[in-house]
Amino acid sequence: MQYWLLKSEPDEFSINDLAKLAPKVEPWSGIRNYQARNFIRDQMQIGDGILFYHSSCKQPGIVGLAKVASTPYPDPSQFDSVSPYFDAKSSIDNPRWVLVDIEFLEKFKRVISLTQIKAMPQFSELALIKSPRLSVQPVSSSHWQQLLALGR
């Protein structure tokens, strides 16, 4: 099993939105960064753990847990000419962008704020600190366990 941090702007899609869908799943669409795409396409597997992170908000931070609920498949928004995620260079025969479905597991009792994470030396190697703009990031097993303890 691998662990991931996925970022979402809460005014677009929040942990509460995901919780309302439970037990249904939500496609994690709109990823348009090649490194993030490669993580999804090449490494994500059903059952992998997800730290759900709210970004671009008053208090950015980790707010809950989800899990990967599907294998990667082509993101349909890349083919939709009215979608903000449309990609004219992508084709059905050769799609550029993939997604996975995610499933809600838990909302944390407290937000693990970015400020809090940055203040803790044990997280200095966390991708969130080293590559803060990346919307899909791997998380080590050790960091996963530490962050779970903080959130619960």
> Domain locations in the chain?
3-151
pLDDT tens sequence across 62-120: 999 999 999 999 999 999 999 999 999 999 999 999 999 999 999 999 999 999 999 99
The predicted pLDDT at position 131 comes to 86
Tell me the two tokens of residue 149.
Answer: 């303890």
**Whole-angstrom Cα distance, residue 117 to residue 29?**
27
**Whole-angstrom Cα distance, residue 41 to residue 46?**
12
First to last CA, the chain: 21
**What torsion do the CA atoms of 119, 139, 67, 83 make, to the nearest 10 degrees?**
90
Amino acid at 75: D
What is the average per-residue pLDDT within 24-38?
Answer: 95
Model confidence, pTM: 0.94
Average pLDDT, the chain: 96
pLDDT band at 39 (very low <50, low <70, confident <90, very high): very high
**Whole-angstrom Cα distance, residue 111 to residue 108?**
7
The predicted pLDDT at position 73 comes to 97
**Whole-angstrom Cα distance, residue 22 to residue 135?**
23
CATH code that applies to domain 3-151: 3.10.590.10
